[in-house]
Chains A and B, each alone.
Chain A
């Protein structure tokens, strides 16, 4: 397994930090991609941040009321080694499906 840290993303409009309102997941939870992770508040609005990926939550950073700077760790996932690549997807090693059959008369001369 590998650790993958998701930092607080830039929430737009030049804001440099956000305050944690409520965590919607806890360490040990298995989360899906796009599942809401946390509600944070900026000086503009309160937003729910969706998970960038599936994985098991290892650690969360920031208690409700605490502020986190953009780029600081927000949440750490435990992900399988084989999903730790950054570009592309891991090919599935499944049994090949065939449509072509071979036929031959092997006259050994």
Chain B
């Protein structure tokens, strides 16, 4: 059950403490909806807006019922203009609001890149810390739902390359609930990449986060090799770990969570133990985030690594139509091949 306690902040804005009190089994879509509901209830400056998020409740039902509950001045539809959505977010943040805009699909974020990169990411820097941008931009991301072009893309490397932005992706309902609340409370702009292929699977959401939400987490402990993943690839890597166990290989799965800043300490700690690593992502290989992760691992674990870090990724082509996405997105066999390459490596 959700409970709300009321208090009055120094600025007069009502600040409530609202969160689930006991474990609930939710889909990620429901977990995000619950988190948004609580953020709106607890922070009177929070606003949710985007294409179809109001009356319709979002194309994935993530904002379902929020307009009816919190009113159309706090949860509202925008024109089909992502540049305008993010420009509005920047202006609202300047005026002291906590904007939670949505860009309906990954591939629709491109028209908003100028506002994100040239304004939102650097206004706090430009203003010497007097103009924080506490914006959480929710973006249904990655592939896996047989959708048309511009609905299956992985933009994490683009955003992670921009100083001033934080980038995070939850892997399951529990992570989604707690990371969204964490992001909304952050004074920095956060790109919140929701793995749309994982919107529907239900899992327990605990009342307490369970660990430090600022870093990576070990989703499964193992001794022989670390699989590094984020978003929808975490669930796939957990499947791969089960398959590898049938062959006697004990795989650790590291859910990176934050794609900027990357938690190099947890990476080093994990691969320092397993001495082998494979990075898995849906985005194309070249200049993908896997390269950054591989370098961080190499820099910290060079002396003990048993093999170069492998990458299993999408291909260097535009994201394909739905018929081909099972070949494009890393599947269990491609990840198993990646593991085998690392296991077979012999020093020359």
Which residues of A pack against B, CB within 8 Å? 2, 81-82, 84-91, 93, 96-104, 106
Contacts and interface: CB of A to CB of B under 8 A. Distances in A.
B104 to A, nearest CB: 9
B22 interface: no
B212 interface: no
Nearest to B336: A100
A85 B24 CA distance: 22
A2 B336 CA distance: 39
A101 B151 CA distance: 33
Given A102-B247, A102-B339, A103-B340, A93 B201 contact: yes
B243 interface: yes
A91 B197 contact: yes
Interface in B312-342: 322, 331-333, 336-337, 339-340
Contact of A102 (B59, B236, B343): B343
Contact of A88 (B151, B333, B344): B151
B61 A85 contact: yes
A87 B322 CA distance: 12
Contacts of A86: 59-60
Nearest to B29: A81
Nearest to A95: B239
A21 B176 CA distance: 49
Given A102-B340, A104-B249, A88 B146 contact: yes
B105 interface: yes
B224 A91 contact: no
Interface in B225-271: 236, 239-240, 243-244, 247-249
B145 A100 contact: no
B340 A87 contact: no
Given A88-B151, A89-B145, A104 B201 contact: no
Interface of B: 27, 59-61, 105, 144-148, 151, 196-197, 199-201, 224, 236, 239-240, 243-244, 247-249, 322, 331-333, 336-337, 339-340, 343-344
Given A93-B201, A106-B224, A98 B59 contact: no
A8 B332 CA distance: 45
By Cβ-Cβ distance, the 6 closest A-B pairs, closest first, are: A88-B145, A88-B147, A104-B343, A100-B336, A102-B247, A82-B200
Nearest to B337: A100
Contacts of A87: 59, 105, 145, 147-148, 151
A24 to B, nearest CB: 29
Contacts of A97: 332
Contacts of A100: 332-333, 336-337, 340
Nearest to A82: B200
Given A81-B27, A89-B145, A89-B146, A104 B151 contact: no
Contacts of A99: 333
14 contacts: A81-B61, A85-B145, A87-B105, A87-B151, A88-B322, A89-B146, A90-B145, A91-B144, A93-B201, A96-B243, A98-B332, A103-B340, A104-B249, A104-B344
A102 B239 contact: no
B310 to A, nearest CB: 13
A90 B151 CA distance: 14
Contacts of B240: 96
Given A81-B61, A85-B60, A100-B332, 19 more contacts: A82-B27, A85-B145, A85-B199, A87-B59, A87-B105, A88-B147, A88-B151, A88-B322, A90-B200, A96-B236, A96-B240, A98-B336, A100-B333, A100-B340, A102-B244, A102-B249, A102-B340, A102-B343, A104-B249
Nearest to B340: A102
Nearest to A99: B333
Contacts of B105: 87
A103 B105 CA distance: 40
A1 to B, nearest CB: 12
A2 B331 CA distance: 32
B196 to A, nearest CB: 7
Nearest to A105: B343
Contacts of B61: 2, 81, 84-85
A88 B196 contact: yes
Contacts of A102: 244, 247-249, 336, 339-340, 343
